Amino acid sequence: MNKIGVTELRELIVAISERVASERDLLNRLDAALGDGDHGSSVSTAFEAAVEDIAALNEPSLSAIWLTTAKALMNRMGGASGAIFGTFFLRGVSLLREREGLDKAEMEAVLKAGLAGVKARGKAQLGDKTMVDALEPAMAAFAAAEDFRAAWSAAAQAAHEGAETTRNLLARQGRAKYLGERAIGRIDPGAMTVALMFAAIDNYWRANCK
């Protein structure tokens, strides 16, 4: 498959929601070491709300699905994390308007816009022990691949490796920065969430898109 339509985009959000929900406890444990311990619960609830809100759309479109997801993350997660994860989706909405399908280059542009939004909103760069450490390598891997199948697989692998790198980083942004060296040895929960998102899309693509 070389195009993502409304059905596929909706099902990608469902796949992400299911994967995040299945790893809710893991994300909560990671967050407990660096923050309030509720990241898994809040991001899972937000994606579940996104799935429900998308299903209720009278006229689903690519932009409506992306915008609905952004709103659910911002409203249901709350706080800085909700704003940042919501921004990832929100920044791509304008690129989806009037489109009925996305090829790889167009999807890449949407995701890159999201990355730029996350970096601007969170004032984070690669190496700061945030979701950027998973998201930026994922985007580089996606861009380098030739087609969707290879792109999602490469992005999922790069996001996982990026999330793992946060274990040995000193936090320079987010709540974890106040822990100083005590944060070293802990994986950033936002980065792990990004890894789970791309893993979910990769698994969906392998199973459903030939």
164 burial via Cβ count (<10 Å: 0-12, 13-18, 19+): middle
**Distance between CA 137 and CA 200 in Å, rounded?**
17
Instruction: Look up residue 177 and give its two tokens.
Output: 């920065």
Instruction: Look up residue 171 and give its two tokens.
Output: 């936090």
pLDDT at residue 45, rounded to an integer? 96
**Distance between CA 62 and CA 7 in Å, rounded?**
9
pLDDT tens, residue by residue, 107-130: 999 999 999 999 999 888 898 889
Regions of the chain where pLDDT drops below 50: 178-180, 182
pLDDT at residue 178, rounded to an integer? 42
**Distance between CA 109 and CA 104 in Å, rounded?**
9
Is this prediction's pTM over 0.85? Answer: yes
Instruction: Look up residue 161 and give its two tokens.
Output: 């490796």
Q: List the domain boundaries for the chain.
A: 6-208
Instruction: Reply yes or no on domain 6-208 having CATH 1.10.3720.10.
Output: no
pLDDT at residue 170, rounded to an integer? 57
With beta carbons less than 8 A apart as the criterion, state whether 167 and 129 touch. Answer: no
**Bridge partners (DSSP) listed for residue 4:** 102
Among 96, 49, 52, 41, smallest CA distance to 74 is for 49
pLDDT tens, residue by residue, 47-70: 999 999 999 999 899 999 999 999
Q: Which residues of 101-128 are buried (b: 16+ CB within 10 A; e: fewer)?
A: ebebebbbebbbbbbebbbebbebeeeb
